[in-house]
Structure 1
Amino acid sequence: MPYIQGRRCKLEPDAKLLETARALKDQLIAWRRDFHRHPETGYEEFRTSSIVADHLRALGLEVTCNVGKTGVVGLLRGEEPGPTFGLRADMDALPIQDRKSVEYCSLVPGKAHLCGHDAHTSMLMGAAQLLTGLGRPKRGNIKFVFQPAEEGLAGAKAMMDDGVLENPKVDAMAGLHVFPSLNTGTISVTKGVAFASADSISIKIIGKGGHAARPHEAVDAITVAAKVIDAIQHIASRLVDPLEPVVVTIGKIQGGYMGTAIAPEVEMVGTVRALTPELRERMPGLLERIIRGVTDSFGASYEFKYNMGYPPVVNNEDMVDFLTKTSERLFGDKRWKYAKPSMGGEDFAFYSLSVPSVFFRLGVHNGQEYTGYPLHHPMFDLDEEALPYGVAMLSAVALNYLSDSSSIHSSI
């Protein structure tokens, strides 16, 4: 493990952290590709968490397993008491078939790392290796949080319920997400609300089945469902202030038996995203009003469920300022920028509601087609040259927080 001479929580070594992280690139790629071949979905990350725990133990960290079922926590304890800074990575994959033709494609049918969590895990493992190689912090602690089940199953909350922010108490946190819309190694961050709330909906349209040639004797649930899908899109265009972003997406629809039969029922599931708590609270009522009106007009009925999922991710403004200054010291002023909020959801939101936090984006697009597919696409991949940038940034944020903690605390 490379060592940066004279570290001891000073800011000057920042420029060397990227060089040190780059020395880990081959190992980072090996980890990332291994996780990519062996994806595990939420609360099933047994193999992944075992690899992570073994690595942290080998580094000499205090390791706690089974936090939030399959989460792992490593603690690098400082020489003297002080603040504790948390670094988080998510470990779970998606229940989507990998369509890439690469030697490291998923070996598990119907599961794949198509959101970059394999890279997140690898980068935090690299940051743990880099930081432990520098020796114990003079003051304060660094907590490495490897989280399960980010993809819709609230693994962050499960880990918090198991005390991940305690013993020692976490004073602030940082996390990252790879972004294919940003150039490799670019850091992007949003002040205030950074990511939208992410709620789920399920709708059942109940009609009356019949023969396809005699539609007047039936109530076509597929036709009604189509009208419902079209109508709920008018929430954003006609029922909500156009300056207030909201997204309603139906991602799955099922119904019917065959081409010559009218479907008696259709089931749909989707997601609702909003940036403000006020609009989020309005959405169940707006949706049901439209669903009721459409189904009534066609003589159908419905069942509707609205499940509150993740709140918005809110970046602490002082932590954002701290992050941008750290990025400038590390990379210069050419590799970071402020970004608009994303309508994507992230359960890092639960941490951000509890402690001052910052969640930032890391660019992984190198200009080639294979790195340009969006998150959750069956062909999603990333430029692995970005991995050392993530390791360096996570490491620098933790080091500089412990060094600057008195001034940061006074503003937070």
Structure 2
Amino acid sequence: MFSDKQIGAATALRHKLHQHPELKFQENGTAALVAEQLRALGYRVTEGIATTGVMAELDTGREGPVIAFRADMDALPIKEANTFAHRSQQEGLMHACGHDGHTATLLLAAEAIMALRDELCGHIKLLFQPGEEGGNGADIMVKEGVLDNPKVDAIFGYHNRPGFPVGQLFVKPGPAMGGNDTYKVTITGVSGHAAMPHLAVDPIYVGASLVQQLQGLVGRHKSPLEAGVITVAAFHAGDAANVIPGQAELLVNIRSDRPSSRKALAGKLEQVTAGVCAAHGAQFHLEHLHQVPPLVNDPEWSERLLAIASEHQVSTDIQRLDYMPTMGAEDFAFYLQEVPGCFFFVGNGDSAYLHNEHYDFNDAVLPVAGGMFVALAKGLLSRA
């Protein structure tokens, strides 16, 4: 599907992006490079979406479906420990999740798709998104209209997956990645002397009780046939051995696989917190810091993607999973809340895991994932 020259150029570009990582909503250099290449290919390009996002459009001039492909561009605040030649040149910043590879993949596909334009009908949108890493950039892209004018019929994206065979393409129809709700719980009690706890309201004791009660939501309020987990990731209170502090802060992270499990967990957090605090005479404040909905692939579009992958021999190893490959969150879920589609995965091999200082995107993924995007364009927009 791609020539050795095209794959070589995409690999070189991926290495260049890896050397110059940029944090969420600061992807100025990356966005400029992306826009330049897309214009050179002949796409109509819109910049500055969601701050640094780029949208490229190919209107074939012939009536047909409107499909969208998405890649994310941002890096992470991680100091890279790799020593290869294309390691990060930005101290303390790193492409530790493979977004450099995702961006290079879609640019590789963009070239092949443009070469096919006379064989296609309909309209294609290529979305290069900022702020996936905790910025909910997809939500902003949606709110700024990338799925409208013309209205997108289906959207597709992917993520590389360490721990799966290199180049293995797989899809989980239905719930495929976890929703992420993060809360800060501030418990206010009454400070006092450690020797006279009856004169105080101890927020540490109240907080510890809350930690225990939250696990009951997972065990007794969520269906055992659904996935979800609650993690109290931080607990801060006090700084002296003989003082009961007046306040405690907890960071609570909730993962869920679908709206019903999210309702059973995140939906009951305030109720449980209020009950625990009331029982001990404490007050509380709940702040919702971050929210990404569960990523749920449309079953019909998932099956169509798998069929197209097989028809066009995108990979020699194509799998349909019957389990969630991860509870990690992915803001592609915001697109799938608006239009149907599918988020697929490609194995990255036996690499370090995502968000690790030794991670690197496997360049062998480029022709497989890029080939999937091209195959979707052929399979869904062919004039034949």
2:338 to 351, 354, 367: 354
Give the SS at the match of 1:175: strand
Please list, as runs of the form range in 1=range in 2, the aligned pairs for 1:3-82 lying within 5 A after superposition: 17=1, 20=2, 22-82=4-64
Partners of 1:210 and 1:39 in 2: CA distance? 49
Q: How far off its partner does 1:151 sit?
A: 2.5
**CA contact 1:79–1:137 (8 Å) conserved in 2:** no
Partners of 2:214 and 2:191 in 1: CA distance? 24
Give the SS at the match of 1:281: helix
Residue 315 (str. 1) matches residue 297 (str. 2) = yes
| Residues 338-394 of structure 1: per-residue CA shift (max 9 Å, x gap) | 1223423222222223223111111101x3xxx042x33343333222222111111
Q: How far off its partner does 1:183 sit?
A: 1.1
**CA contact 1:72–1:146 (8 Å) conserved in 2:** yes
| Residues 35-80 of structure 1: per-residue CA shift (max 9 Å, x gap) | 2333223222212111110111111211111122211011123253
Partners of 1:403 and 1:134 in 2: CA distance? 9
Q: 1:181 to 1:44 in 2, by over 3 A?
A: same
Partners of 2:220 and 2:270 in 1: CA distance? 16
Following TM superposition, the consecutive aligned residue runs of length 4 or more in structure 1 with deviations greater than 6 angstroms are 211-217
Please list, as runs of the form range in 1=range in 2, the aligned pairs for 1:183-194 lying within 5 A after superposition: 183-194=165-176
Please list, as runs of the form range in 1=range in 2, the aligned pairs for 1:290-329 lying within 5 A after superposition: 290-296=272-278, 299-306=281-288, 309-329=291-311
Partners of 2:46 and 2:188 in 1: CA distance? 49
Q: How far off its partner does 1:110 sit?
A: 4.6
| Residues 112-139 of structure 1: per-residue CA shift (max 9 Å, x gap) | 3222222111111111122223454442
AA at the equivalent of 1:376 = H
Q: How far off its partner does 1:184 sit?
A: 0.8
Partners of 1:23 and 1:280 in 2: CA distance? 47
Residue equivalent to 2:327:
343
Comparing 144-153 with 35-44, greater Cα deviation is found at: 35-44
1:364 to 348, 351, 370: 348
Residue equivalent to 1:273:
255
Partners of 1:386 and 1:263 in 2: CA distance? 53
Please list, as runs of the form range in 1=range in 2, the aligned pairs for 1:368-407 lying within 5 A after superposition: 371-373=351-353, 375-403=354-382
Aligned residues: 382
Q: How far off its partner does 1:310 sit?
A: 2.7
Comparing 59-68 with 243-252, greater Cα deviation is found at: 243-252
**CA contact 2:74–2:132 (8 Å) conserved in 1:** yes
2:217 to 235, 243, 255: 235
**CA contact 1:22–1:388 (8 Å) conserved in 2:** no
Give the superposed CA RMSD. Answer: 2.9
Residue equivalent to 1:175:
157
Q: How far off its partner does 1:216 sit?
A: 6.8
Partners of 1:101 and 1:261 in 2: CA distance? 49
AA at the equivalent of 1:117 = H
| Residues 276-329 of structure 1: per-residue CA shift (max 9 Å, x gap) | 323323434532343334445555432123467233323222211211112212
Give the SS at the match of 2:370: helix
Give the SS at the match of 1:331: coil
**CA contact 1:76–1:136 (8 Å) conserved in 2:** no
Comparing 67-76 with 38-47, greater Cα deviation is found at: 38-47
2:102 to 105, 108, 120: 120
**CA contact 1:21–1:389 (8 Å) conserved in 2:** no
Q: 1:332 to 1:165 in 2, by over 3 A?
A: closer
How does the TM-score come out when normalised to structure 1?
0.82
Partners of 2:315 and 2:93 in 1: CA distance? 38
**CA contact 1:320–1:358 (8 Å) conserved in 2:** yes
Please list, as runs of the form range in 1=range in 2, the aligned pairs for 1:211-222 lying within 5 A after superposition: 220-222=202-204
Extract unaligned runs of 5+ from structure 1. 1-16, 406-412
Partners of 1:222 and 1:401 in 2: CA distance? 58
The sequence identity of aligned pairs, in percent, is: 36
1:84 to 53, 66, 79: 66
Q: 1:376 to 1:212 in 2, by over 3 A?
A: farther
Extract unaligned runs of 5+ from structure 2. none
**CA contact 2:258–2:296 (8 Å) conserved in 1:** no
| Residues 140-162 of structure 1: per-residue CA shift (max 9 Å, x gap) | 23221111122333222222222
Give the SS at the match of 2:74: coil
Residue equivalent to 1:195:
177
**CA contact 1:79–1:136 (8 Å) conserved in 2:** no
Give the SS at the match of 1:36: helix
AA at the equivalent of 1:363 = G
